[in-house]
Amino acid sequence: ILCATLVGIVLPEDKFGNRDSRNKDVNGVVDFSTAIKLTSSKSLEPTSLSSQSTVLSDASAVLSTSNRVRFLFLAVFFRFCAGLTIGIWSAPFFRLAFPDDASSYAIINAMIIGVCGVASGMIGGWVSDRLAEKSASSTTMLWDESTGRLLIPIFGAFLAIPIWHMTMNASTFEGAMFWLAMKYLVAECWFGPAVAVLQSDVPSKYGGAAQGMFIFT
């Protein structure tokens, strides 16, 4: 997941949104006659082009936006898989590892998710916004605004690896719950930055398709 995200960040981005400057004269003033002709021709064009848009074509357009978007979707897919795996198998594991505390696990786990998970999402989103602002305003940064946002989930994912190891190898139930709380605190900061990068990198006309693909992954 981390390698895919990092590769998506460092690979050169595709160029989009280049505007055709042929409708400007040498002084940069818009040629209004040309603009009127273009407007008239667009108004007379059939609307069949929009009807040709399909789910698959929009999904392909989203994935064609940039290398970062493609690898971000791959990373999100594996991140959702990891989260679902932990959610499904953590309860049987803790029930077998600490049978005397099986009844307490459900309550404590719900509190950890509700407090640490929410706090991680909010703090991670806030910090990623600050990094994005700093990246956009600074001329010395080695990365752009979207990359600045993704530094938070990358750091959180790296930090969650040893913490999850400590959770699985804790000798006491209290220790396991402490490390589980720490894991949620550092690992759940990825959601907000990932959505923000999709919203900023994907063209607005494909925003709904991008969000649908994000949830589907």
How does pLDDT run across 170-190, given as a tens digit for each residue? Answer: 999 999 999 999 999 999 999
pTM: 0.70
Stronger pLDDT, 122 or 17, i.e. the higher one: 122
User: Contact, 106 vs 29, CB < 8 A?
Assistant: no
pLDDT of 155 above 70: yes
| Cβ neighbours of residue 174 closer than 8 Å, sequence gap 6 or more | none
Q: What pLDDT, on the 0 to 100 scale, is given for residue 141?
A: 66
Dihedral sign for Cα 111, 1, 161, 158, please.
negative
25-76 tens-digit pLDDT: 434 444 434 443 444 444 444 444 445 678 889 989 999 998 999 999 999 9
